[in-house]
């Protein structure tokens, strides 16, 4: 199954594919186990920092090995890529998907670079899916003390339907990730802002392409359900996975203070990741 076909199938069913970021093989193991258990397609994401840590070619090899060994719809996304050069690197390495993130750039500059990424991706492999970000929602998947400076969360600053329509028409992107009240990261001492569901509907109609919700960690279950019904077909989760992973490591070390074999004390981290991913996948797929 091609990635774009999996996304379109999710859209038709009014469900969403889960996208989860990894920093190592333990995270990948937990995510894949959850998806496989539920028999659902899944997207693995690596940001520029995560790609630098794991390795670009190594990330491709890891996901490809799971796909081929299990004949399973698991896909790899170059998440939050901020330059054409980094996008090209991931495309050349064999990534299934590229998120070019020019959300902080002027509209025309974002449009032009996104178009360049789309054209290059299609010249290498027509099946590569390119997603664009339109609307800044912060950058870091972490626990936040406050809403990131410049994040567009108020109604007047959310992505506008006409902007998205123009952007999609002139870039040829297959997916769009707008600002609809979502944030990257999770607020420590408050709820994340609510999603503007009506704007999601308007954007899906105007853009004419499947929509992606970034900054899924911290969003209420009710907003997830409504946003997916309104037109979201892929949901990104990272901070929740990282928190679960860290807590699992702490538990593993506390309960096994004399253990020095990582494959033993990392079991709780893998299990915690699997639990979070399973919970989210069930919600996104009405299970």
Write down the pLDDT at residue 135.
78
Nearest to 238 by CA among 114, 99, 118: 99
For residue 192, name the pLDDT band (cuts at 50, 70, 90). low
Residues recognised as catalytic:
79
User: Per DSSP, what are the bridge partners of residue 81?
Assistant: 100
138: Cα separation from own chain's centroid: 14
Write down the pLDDT at residue 144.
44
Please list the alpha-helical segments (H only) found in the chain: 3-13, 25-38, 48-54, 56-70, 84-93, 107-124, 161-171, 197-207, 221-230, 239-255, 262-265, 267-284
Q: What are phi and psi of 131, to 5 degrees?
A: -115, 145
Which two structure tokens, joined as six digits, stand for 137?
Answer: 């929602």
Write down the pLDDT at residue 10.
98
For residue 194, name the pLDDT band (cuts at 50, 70, 90). confident
Cα separation, 24 vs 227, in Å, equals 30
Write down the pLDDT at residue 3.
98
pLDDT in tens, 102-111: 988 999 999 9
pLDDT in tens, 168-178: 999 999 999 99
Percent of the chain with pLDDT over 70: 89
Q: Is the pLDDT of residue 14 over 70?
A: yes
Tokens 């186990």 -> residue: 33
pLDDT in tens, 246-273: 999 999 999 999 999 999 999 999 999 9
Write down the pLDDT at residue 40.
98
Q: Which residue has the higher pLDDT, 257 or 183?
A: 257
Q: Let me know if domain 3-284 sits in CATH 3.30.70.270.
A: no
For residue 181, name the pLDDT band (cuts at 50, 70, 90). confident
Average pLDDT over residues 218-232: 92
Length of the chain (residues): 287
Cα separation, 127 vs 282, in Å, equals 27
The DSSP secondary structure of 73-96, one letter per residue, reads -EEEEEEEE-SHHHHHHHHHHT-S
């Amino acid at each position: 199954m091609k990635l774009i076909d999996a996304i379109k199938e999710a859209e038709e069913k009014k469900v969403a594919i889960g996208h989860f970021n990894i920093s190592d093989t333990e995270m990948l193991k937990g995510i894949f186990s959850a998806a496989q258990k539920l028999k659902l397609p899944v997207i693995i994401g690596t940001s520029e920092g995560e790609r630098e840590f794991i390795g670009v070619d190594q990330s491709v090899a890891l996901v490809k090995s799971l796909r081929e060994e299990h004949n399973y719809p698991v896909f790899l996304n170059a998440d939050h890529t901020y330059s054409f050069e980094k996008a090209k690197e991931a495309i050349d390495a064999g990534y299934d998907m590229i998120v070019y993130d020019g959300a902080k750039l002027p509209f025309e500059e974002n449009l032009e670079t996104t178009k360049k990424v789309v054209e290059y991706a299609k010249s290498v492999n027509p099946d590569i899916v390119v997603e664009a970000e339109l609307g800044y929602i912060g950058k870091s998947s972490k626990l936040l003390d406050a809403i990131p400076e410049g994040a567009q969360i108020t109604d007047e600053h959310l992505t506008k339907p006409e902007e998205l329509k123009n952007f999609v028409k002139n870039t040829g992107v297959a997916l769009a990730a707008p600002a609809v009240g979502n944030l990257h990261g999770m607020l420590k001492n408050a709820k994340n802002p609510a999603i503007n569901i009506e704007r999601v509907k308007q954007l899906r109609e105007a853009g004419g392409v499947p929509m992606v919700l970034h900054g899924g960690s911290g969003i209420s279950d009710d907003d997830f359900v409504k946003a997916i019904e309104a037109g979201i077909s892929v949901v990104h989760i990272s901070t929740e996975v990282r928190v679960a992973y860290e807590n699992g490591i702490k538990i593993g070390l506390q309960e096994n203070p004399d253990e020095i074999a990582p494959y033993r004390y990392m079991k709780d981290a893998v299990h915690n990741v699997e639990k979070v991913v399973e919970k989210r996948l069930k919600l996104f797929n009405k299970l």
